[in-house]
Amino acid sequence: MLKTVDLHKKYNGFTALQSLNLEVGKGEVFALLGQNGAGKSTTINILLGLIKATSGDAFINKISVREHPQEIKKHMAYIPETVLLYPGLTGLENLDFFSRIAGFTYSREELSAFLKRTGLQETAHQKPLGGYSKGMRQKVGIAIALAKDAKVLLLDEPTSGLDPIATAEFTEIVRQLGKEGRTVFMATHDIFNAVSVATNIGIMKQGELVQNVPSKTFTAGELQELYLKTI
């Protein structure tokens, strides 16, 4: 569902990404760890088609990002660290608006059902987004991904700033997405959450993917030790 082939990215002679080769299958959750500047954001921006790789290519659902940057958007959803939605609109109204932009029209009951699937309490559906917590805004973002039937979800620092309860809720949502056959690729600093939710974990250093390991082979403590040795 998600594949990169010899991805390279240079900025004025600086190598931000080099020889990135990875595959993430249907229903898998891939967590990409690395320090700031390691290349995580560059990778996501290339996958989104926001920047062009210097060489190499990426594929979403077997579609080339380089050749079809607009087509891939039909198959994926992006949830940034800060979910950018309209604070004056309710959760339900935001979901309706962004669903329509993606070409989908749903009844009020169907929209509410998407929000319920993410665990957003029903009492919040009709409240303005400006009063939502970060975790609640993320749930609306995931509901938008469900409404547009995204096969691949790209998440950037999804647990940053979340309290333990919201982090646990997010982890359960991501597990459920995997069970539904959706592919999740997330860039994160959260080692403990990565071990808890990911099927595979990658570690980036100076633009290179230097580790790519199954999460079940490590405890959180062991992964932290490997991460500190690697970076």
Each residue of 114-164: pLDDT tens digit? 999 999 999 999 999 999 999 999 999 999 999 999 999 999 999 998 999
Calculate mean pLDDT across residues 11-28: 95
Among residues 123, 150, 177, the one where a domain terminates is 150
pLDDT for the residue 133: 94
**H or E element at residue 64:** strand 63-64
pLDDT for the residue 132: 96
Q: Tell me, yes or no, whether 81 lies in a domain.
A: no
Among residues 150, 185, 204, the one where a domain terminates is 150
- Decide: 147 and 99 in contact? Cβ < 8 Å: yes
Calculate mean pLDDT across residues 22-41: 95
* Domain total of the chain: 2
Residue 93 and residue 63 in one domain = no
- Decide: 187 and 43 in contact? Cβ < 8 Å: yes
Residue 96 and residue 202 in one domain = no
Residue 37 and residue 92 in one domain = no
Judged against a pLDDT cut of 90, whether residue 19 lies above it is answered with yes
pLDDT band at 21 (very low <50, low <70, confident <90, very high): very high
- Decide: 177 and 152 in contact? Cβ < 8 Å: no
Ramachandran angles phi, psi of 129, nearest 5°: -65, -20
pLDDT for the residue 89: 98
Calculate mean pLDDT across residues 13-42: 95
Q: Tell me, yes or no, whether 111 lies in a domain.
A: yes
Calculate mean pLDDT across residues 3-32: 96
Residue 156 and residue 144 in one domain = no
Residue with tokens 């979800």: 153
Q: Tell me, yes or no, whether 102 lies in a domain.
A: yes
The domain of 109 spans 86-150
For the packed helices 164-179 and 134-147, what is the interaxial angle rounded to 10 degrees? 10
Judged against a pLDDT cut of 90, whether residue 231 lies above it is answered with no
Calculate mean pLDDT across residues 183-202: 94
**Closest residue by Cα to residue 141 from 179, 177, 181, 193:** 177
Residues 6+ positions from 228 with CB-CB distance below 8 Å: none
pLDDT in tens, 124-134: 999 999 999 99
Phi-psi sector, 26: left (phi>0), alpha (psi -120 to 50), beta: beta
Residue 141 and residue 162 in one domain = no
**Closest residue by Cα to residue 51 from 69, 71, 39, 75:** 69
Judged against a pLDDT cut of 90, whether residue 104 lies above it is answered with yes
Among residues 150, 173, 203, the one where a domain terminates is 150
Residue 155 and residue 71 in one domain = yes
> Which residue stretches of 14-133 are H helix?
40-47, 91-101, 108-117
Judged against a pLDDT cut of 90, whether residue 33 lies above it is answered with yes
- Decide: 55 and 43 in contact? Cβ < 8 Å: no
Please tell me the pTM assigned to this model: 0.93
pLDDT for the residue 13: 87
pLDDT for the residue 153: 97
Query: Strands 183-188 and 152-156, how do they pair?
Result: parallel
Q: Tell me, yes or no, whether 80 lies in a domain.
A: no
pLDDT for the residue 15: 94
